């Protein structure tokens, strides 16, 4: 009885302490809804303010971080960001000062900074602030001529020397190019028009080219309208390219590849958006006899978390210049949309070298004409001096987690008697198709396996295993051909 009395007494005390309207279930729900509504309104106000900042309607410029002990501003060296004044000398003076001091940071402030090509230096950070734009002058007479790359023998488009890049560096260590999404614009349109009209005597230059360098970090910058390839690290080591945007028109912007790792080792490309007039990413290692003699492979490269669009070529390619070899490549978490091809490996007799140990994982193909392409007759050569008996080796390639919709041809793997494609694996593939032909998974001179169920039905050249590794069907032939589809 005493316990019951004390319990009732506590309930009465609780009712006196807590207002009665809070004890109403309906009122409590109303109160919770009101608090939630206030929180939502507050969140919306923050989101709208951020959107206005993004659109430039509310100005809250982000302060430029100090990433090096020594920091300079480009304007301190006489540069004028009006889009008209040529600021090459200002860039050169600033970078010379950084070189003398043993390293430093160069801030490019908001504005349009027109310049001819310039060279970076060791232990340097180039920081592009919000609304900063570096503009490459579109008069080729300002662009220096450089010797051909040793692994190419000639300029890629013309014999003899080649134009340098807008931003260039050789034999460098510890270089950072970053910012608050400022822009490096190559103003490539005049270059593209002159190239189509055959008015250029030399191979066009990239937007950014670093050669024989190491410890490179490129992030949080937009690159657009390159005259030629956009980012071209050549024979570099330990390179990170992260959170960049690379743009060029999808048509009438010839050879504007996004990123071309060329004879590079230990590289990561990630978290980026690329929409260009050629390959989004193209891994290379030299061209025919020149690449064989130079003998520098591209290896240990990871490409992940990219969104890519290419109406002319492919989202991610290997080759066709791969004569020094390409190996240990991982491509994962890739979305290719509204493009001609998803991924492509391209080579030919005369290349030599190898393409091996390639992993493709978690690829999404959305409205792509041909999903996966391996092509062994990509017959472009620097000159007649190549050896047609120098045959590349293609082996150990796996495709896991390939999905998407609106794909016309899911896979076209065309080896040849001289260059068979060996040890290919497909697993977990389901691609919505739009082309109602009998054989839409096309193969020739290919050896490999399918594991588990995949759609569409794989070609007869491949062995078929269940998920547990049990053989379900042995391939009937390795050399079935069912072409009948254009490049």
Residues involved in catalysis: 278
Give the CA-trace dihedral at 394, 395, 401, 404, to 10 degrees.
Answer: 20
Phi first, then psi, for residue 90 (nearest 5°) are: -65, -45
d(CA 377, CA 380): 9
Q: Could you tell me if 124 and 165 are in contact, meaning their C-beta atoms sit under 8 angstroms apart?
A: no
User: What's the rounded Cα separation, in Å, for the pair 410 and 454?
Assistant: 11
Could you tell me the two tokens for 413?
A: 């793997």
Helix (H, G, I), strand (E, B) or coil at 19: coil
Residue 221: closest CA among 234, 205, 236, 240: 240
The whole-angstrom separation of Cα 54 and Cα 180 is: 12
Report the 10 Å Cβ neighbour count for 10: 10
How is residue 476 written in tokens?
A: 């009937």
Buried b (16+ CB within 10 A) or exposed e, 410-429: bbbbbbbeebbbbebbbbbb
Query: In 351-365, which positions are buried (b, 16+ CB within 10 angstroms) versus exposed (e)?
Result: bbbbbbbbbbbbbbb
- What is the residue whose two structure tokens read 């989202």? 315
Question: What is d(CA 77, CA 90) in angstroms, rounded to the nearest whole number?
Answer: 5
User: Hey, is 277 helix, strand or coil?
Assistant: coil
Residue 219's CB is within 10 A of a number of other CB atoms, namely: 17
Instruction: Report d(CA 485, CA 487) in Å as an integer.
Output: 7
Contact status, residue 322 vs residue 282, Cβ threshold 8 Å: no
3-state SS assignment for residue 11? helix
End-to-end CA distance of the chain: 93
Structure tokens at 166: 């807008």
Neighbours of 34 (CB within 10 A): 10
The two structure tokens encoding residue 9: 């007494």
């Amino acid at each position: 009885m005493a316990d019951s009395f004390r319990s009732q007494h506590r309930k009465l005390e609780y009712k006196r302490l807590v207002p009665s309207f809070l004890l109403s279930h309906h009122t409590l729900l109303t109160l919770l809804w009101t608090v939630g509504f206030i929180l939502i309104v507050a969140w919306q106000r923050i989101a709208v303010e951020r959107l206005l900042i993004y659109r430039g309607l509310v100005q809250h410029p982000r302060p430029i971080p100090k990433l090096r002990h020594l920091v300079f501003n480009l304007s301190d060296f006489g540069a004028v960001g009006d889009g008209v004044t040529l600021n090459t000398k200002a860039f050169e003076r600033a970078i010379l000062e950084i070189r003398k001091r043993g390293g430093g940071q160069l801030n490019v402030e908001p504005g349009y900074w027109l310049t001819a090509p310039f060279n970076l230096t060791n232990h340097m950070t180039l920081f592009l602030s919000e609304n900063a734009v570096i503009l490459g002058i579109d008069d080729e007479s300002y662009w220096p001529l450089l010797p051909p790359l040793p692994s190419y023998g000639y300029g890629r488009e013309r014999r003899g020397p080649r134009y340098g890049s807008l931003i260039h560096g050789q034999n460098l260590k510890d270089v950072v190019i970053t910012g608050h999404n400022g822009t490096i614009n190559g103003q490539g349109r005049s270059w593209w028009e002159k190239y189509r009209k055959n008015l250029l005597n030399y191979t066009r230059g990239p937007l950014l080219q670093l050669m024989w360098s190491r410890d490179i970090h490129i992030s949080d910058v937009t690159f657009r309208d390159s005259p030629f390839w956009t980012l071209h690290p050549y024979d570099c080591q330990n390179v990170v390219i992260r959170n960049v945007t690379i743009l060029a028109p999808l048509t009438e912007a010839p050879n504007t590849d996004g990123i071309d790792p060329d004879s590079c080792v230990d590289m990561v490309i990630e978290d980026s958006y690329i929409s260009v007039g050629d390959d989004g990413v193209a891994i290379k290692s030299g061209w025919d006899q020149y690449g064989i003699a130079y003998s520098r492979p591209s290896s240990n490269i990871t490409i992940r978390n990219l969104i890519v669009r290419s109406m002319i070529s492919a989202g991610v390619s290997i080759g066709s210049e791969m004569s020094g070899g390409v190996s240990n490549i991982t491509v994962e978490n890739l979305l290719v949309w509204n493009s001609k091809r998803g991924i492509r490996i391209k080579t030919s007799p005369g290349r030599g070298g190898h393409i091996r140990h390639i992993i493709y994982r978690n690829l999404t193909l959305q409205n792509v004409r041909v999903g996966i392409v391996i092509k062994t007759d990509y017959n472009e050569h620097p000159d007649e001096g190549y050896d047609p008996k120098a045959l590349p080796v293609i082996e150990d390639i796996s495709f896991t987690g390939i999905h998407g919709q609106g794909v016309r041809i899911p896979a076209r793997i065309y080896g040849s008697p001289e260059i068979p494609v060996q040890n290919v694996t497909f697993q977990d593939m389901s691609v919505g198709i739009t082309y109602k032909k009998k054989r839409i998974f096309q193969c020739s001179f290919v050896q490999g396996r399918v594991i588990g169920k995949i759609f569409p039905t794989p070609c007869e050249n491949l062995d078929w295993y269940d998920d547990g590794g049990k053989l379900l069907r042995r391939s009937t032939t390795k050399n079935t051909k069912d072409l009948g589809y254009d490049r």
